[in-house]
Amino acid sequence: MRMRLRKHEWLRTTVLRACYCTFSSPFPQKHVTKSNFESAAADLKNHVKAADFVAVDLEMTGVSSAPWRDSMEFDRFDVKYLKVKDSAEKFAVIQFGVCPFRWDPLRLSFIAHPHNFFIFPAHDELPTDAASSSHDFLCQTSSLDFLAKYDFDFNACIRQGVSYLSRRQEDEALRRLNLRYQNELSQQVRDVPLVSMTDILFSERMKNRLSEWRDDLLKGTSGRSQFQGSVNDTNKQFQTLFYKMRPALSLNGFTSHQLKLTQLVTKKHFKDLASVRVEGESSCSQLVVVYTDSEADRDLLKVREHRLIQMPRTLSAYLSFWQKEVMDDNRRGAEMKIKATIGFRHIIDLLSSEKKLIVGHNCFLDLAHIYSKFLGPLPLDAEEFVSSVNKCFPYIIDTKILLNTNNILKQKMKKSKTSLSSAFLSLCPQIAYASKESCDLTFSSSVKVEVQVDDTRSSNWNFGVKHEAGYDAFMTGCIFAQACSLLGIDFKLYLPSENLAYNEKLWKHVNLLYLSWINGDIIDLSTGHRTAESLRCNDFKKWPTRILFENIVLVWGFPSKLKTGVIKDCISRVFGPTSVTSIYRLDETAVFVQFSEVNLVSDFLVVKETLERSHDALAVVHPLSKLLEGGNTCAASYETYKDICSSPISKVLFADQAEAVGIRGKTILVESKEELETKEQDTFHEETIANAKSVSVLQNKTGWKHTVKDASSTRPSSDEVIDSFCVAGVEQIRATSP
């Protein structure tokens, strides 16, 4: 994930990698695909059970489905969650790194077991009737390109990737299967009158063919070979084989209508033939006509007798019993298929049931992916999401939070970047550079980490490939181990039975995640509380004044050539020079305008609407006309932005998105205005609007100034507002007076 943040520093590492690759071996880690999944999962199970903590990392096919959905400062927490939700729902996870870390008291070092799973969604591998409807996932072109630069093996992923299925999908698939089975039981092949001539001909031909086949069977082996010879041209359509130890004829290359007819023919005309649908390897089902010799089957029936309460005696009853058995078989097969498709989710189930401490780096999006891919559909709001995640993974530590909020670590990190690889280089140089000599001298205070793959251990290796989930997870784990040691956790005194998450030095960091790194919004998974990171503004960058979302107007659909500065200028000229605190360009078609006062939001909307309504020639002179040029400019409050974000649609340009979601500026304008006005408890607001509207009447009278003064005395702080209203009023007068 974090590719946008990490992009800039890849060069540095490439240089470093080039320096070190000459004298060490490649980073050892276990790559897991379909072929070795079973054994790797069994091994991993033991490692996880013994582990003190497990580091994880994910690689996805993309991060944001549209440029305007990128994370930004103007994300309110609920909007940020919606963006994360959108990303997790649309993109697929293609690599999953799991790296259990265990403290070895004898060697006084951590033993890491990095696993790099290639995984690939498997909706299509489910039996056809159990598959849910989603068949596709989104890819972000730049992400694929980026991963390809790091030699990501997409072929391994698509050809050999371990499948995955969420708990919800599994339940759904099993439910569908059950329903289908019940339907099949309740309804056998129905009689259909043969209407068309072709159907009659086909049925007749089928009847001949089947009786021919059966007669040949009864005659003996010589007959069969003759039969096969006679249908040489069509032997692809008819194949004799054994099904459940009975001679059978499999039918291929027929339409399902033809198969249905064949089923009818067998039922009607052959007492000793049964037609059964078999789930083939390919998802389509196949028809097999089986010869059931009552004598030969008698023994079999006897074996079964004690198992069945009511024993079917007659041949036809026997046939239907037999068909049911095949159906059961099909169902069991389908169930097995569903179970097999669960694949990688077994690992997630393991992490969850072991209740181990999970370590990730800036992992809110990772968790959302884990939730949507392996548990079920993401909840609508962040609080619910957080509490469900907490139930599943009770202890999570985010190393990015740790490095940015703990004072000891902040000092150690100085001001270096906290992106994964730079944090790894600055905190764990002994592991990153992996040179033993210097390790003993310079990094004596450092935590030792050895890597174990299968049974070979090593403490000397080349740089791993960044953005390979296994190596990223390893780096995350190393950062965490080193951070623990810096915080004063002495692993030598540490008992294996102890849960690291309960350590007093770590406790206050557990379950805190960055909801948004840009805003410094932190969310506590165990309580759902959100806090803003307080300390970063001092040292990170100059923090703009706190964003007040109720002061924000979203404007879109204006001429795309319009520069941000010009928009600010337009608005300032109407509402006063200090009315706009900040303006943020969402994309070429949309901006956020933050006003200094809440009232200005509705005022802006009102002025915009009146301007649009009046088709006066003079309206062109109004400063806002520049913004309204083209007639497609829409404006709405911040809530609308949330609505637009919650839509599953993702158009590239925001204006197109708003239109696709069905938000037309004019309707939303009225709604939001009314909403705001009714919400407004302060009568002053309405008063000022009234003032502004009646300006034209008052202007020539002396009372004009008096009213304004009155208003300003009720709220002295709002001089600017009044001023801006004056400006607006004057503009309106200009616009309306002939």
CB 405 within 8 A of CB 397: no
CB 360 within 8 A of CB 420: no
- Interacting residue with another protein among 25, 134, 188, 294 (CB under 8 A): 134
530 binds another protein (CB under 8 A): no
Q: 661 exposed, middle or buried (CB, 10 Å; 0-12, 13-18, 19+)?
A: middle
283 binds another protein (CB under 8 A): yes
135 binds another protein (CB under 8 A): yes
CB 481 within 8 A of CB 447: yes
457 binds another protein (CB under 8 A): no
Q: 525 exposed, middle or buried (CB, 10 Å; 0-12, 13-18, 19+)?
A: buried
Restricting to residues 161-180, name those near another protein by CB under 8 A.
175-176, 179-180
- Interacting residue with another protein among 155, 234, 294, 699 (CB under 8 A): 155
CB 409 within 8 A of CB 492: no
142 binds another protein (CB under 8 A): yes
Encode 634-650: b = buried (16+ Cβ within 10 Å), e = exposed. bbbbbbbbbbbbbbeeb
Q: Which is nearer to another protein, 142 or 712 (CB)?
A: 142
Find the shortest distance in angstroms from Cβ 152 to another protein: 8
62 binds another protein (CB under 8 A): yes
Could you tell me which stretch among 116-124, 414-422, 450-458, 574-582 binds another protein (CB under 8 A)?
A: 116-124
Rounded Cα gap, residues 402 and 405, in angstroms:
6
Encoded tokens for 345: 């989710």
Neighbour count for residue 464 (Cβ, 10 Å):
23
Q: Which is nearer to another protein, 47 or 85 (CB)?
A: 85
DSSP letter for 91, please: B
- Interacting residue with another protein among 100, 114, 121, 394 (CB under 8 A): 121
282 binds another protein (CB under 8 A): yes
11 binds another protein (CB under 8 A): no
CB 698 within 8 A of CB 689: no
Rounded Cα gap, residues 431 and 689, in angstroms:
66
150 binds another protein (CB under 8 A): no
Neighbour count for residue 615 (Cβ, 10 Å):
7
- Interacting residue with another protein among 15, 42, 141, 414 (CB under 8 A): 141
Find the shortest distance in angstroms from Cβ 147 to another protein: 8
Helix (H, G, I), strand (E, B) or coil at 445: coil
Residue 384 identity: E
Find the shortest distance in angstroms from Cβ 174 to another protein: 13
Rounded Cα gap, residues 66 and 90, in angstroms:
11
Q: Which residues pair with 512 in a beta bridge?
A: 524
- Interacting residue with another protein among 22, 42, 106, 187 (CB under 8 A): 187
Neighbour count for residue 561 (Cβ, 10 Å):
8
- Interacting residue with another protein among 14, 211, 228, 252 (CB under 8 A): 252
- Interacting residue with another protein among 11, 15, 133, 229 (CB under 8 A): 133
Find the shortest distance in angstroms from Cβ 133 to another protein: 4
Helix (H, G, I), strand (E, B) or coil at 111: strand
Helix (H, G, I), strand (E, B) or coil at 154: helix
CB 126 within 8 A of CB 337: yes
Find the shortest distance in angstroms from Cβ 153 to another protein: 6
286 binds another protein (CB under 8 A): yes
Encoded tokens for 258: 């033809």
Rounded Cα gap, residues 245 and 263, in angstroms:
21
CB 720 within 8 A of CB 571: no
- Interacting residue with another protein among 108, 408, 535, 652 (CB under 8 A): 652
Site mask for another protein (CB under 8 A), range 301-330, x = bound:
----------------------------x-
Find the shortest distance in angstroms from Cβ 67 to another protein: 6
Restricting to residues 195-234, name those near another protein by CB under 8 A.
195-196, 199
Q: Which is nearer to another protein, 179 or 218 (CB)?
A: 179
158 binds another protein (CB under 8 A): yes
615 binds another protein (CB under 8 A): no
Restricting to residues 484-523, name those near another protein by CB under 8 A.
none
Q: Decide the pairing of beta strands 109-112 and 449-453.
A: parallel
682 binds another protein (CB under 8 A): no
Could you tell me which stretch among 141-149, 266-274, 393-401, 445-453 binds another protein (CB under 8 A)?
A: 141-149
